[in-house]
């Protein structure tokens, strides 16, 4: 009799522990760590670039670690130079130039040209003056 009660208690605790572990796993999945979120962001960005630029699988696989590194460096730049907009912009431009250089080793000239056309309007400085010449 004592053995049966002990066994029931042990089984109950085991099930409770499994349930708690499953709930914790669900919470972890719902709220990824910053590193996991960054990895997911890099994958989504690379997938979107692959679709837009018609990259093949080999190009996708080469571009993915570049995007991971780029996003990580961009986060570091934004954090480190948050109070210095000029330095932050210069560092971001330097990072983008390095990224484009690496992309030129992966992409065809037409793909690279399309990437540059898409990036250009987003990074072009706003016109100054009244536009009258």
What whole-number distance in Å separates Cα of residue 49 and Cα of residue 63? 9
**Of 39-43, 44-48, 128-132, which range is least confident?**
128-132
What whole-number distance in Å separates Cα of residue 18 and Cα of residue 1? 26
Q: 98-123, pLDDT tens digit by residue?
A: 999 999 999 999 999 999 888 765 55
Mean pLDDT, range 123-127, rounded to an integer: 50
Predicted TM-score (pTM) of this structure: 0.64
Domain layout of the chain by residue ranges: 34-115
């Amino acid at each position: 009799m004592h053995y049966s009660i002990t066994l029931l208690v042990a089984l109950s605790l085991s099930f409770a522990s499994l349930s708690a572990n499953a709930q914790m796993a669900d919470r972890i999945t719902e709220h990824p760590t910053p590193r996991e979120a960054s990895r997911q962001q890099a994958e989504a960005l690379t997938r979107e670039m692959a679709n837009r630029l018609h990259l093949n699988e080999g190009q996708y696989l080469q571009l993915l670690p570049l995007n991971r590194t780029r996003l990580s460096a961009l986060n570091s730049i934004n954090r480190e130079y948050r109070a210095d907009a000029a330095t932050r912009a210069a560092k971001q431009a330097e990072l983008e130039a390095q990224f484009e250089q690496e992309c030129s080793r992966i992409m065809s000239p037409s793909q690279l040209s399309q990437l540059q056309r898409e990036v250009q309007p987003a990074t072009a400085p706003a016109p100054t003056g009244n536009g009258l010449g």
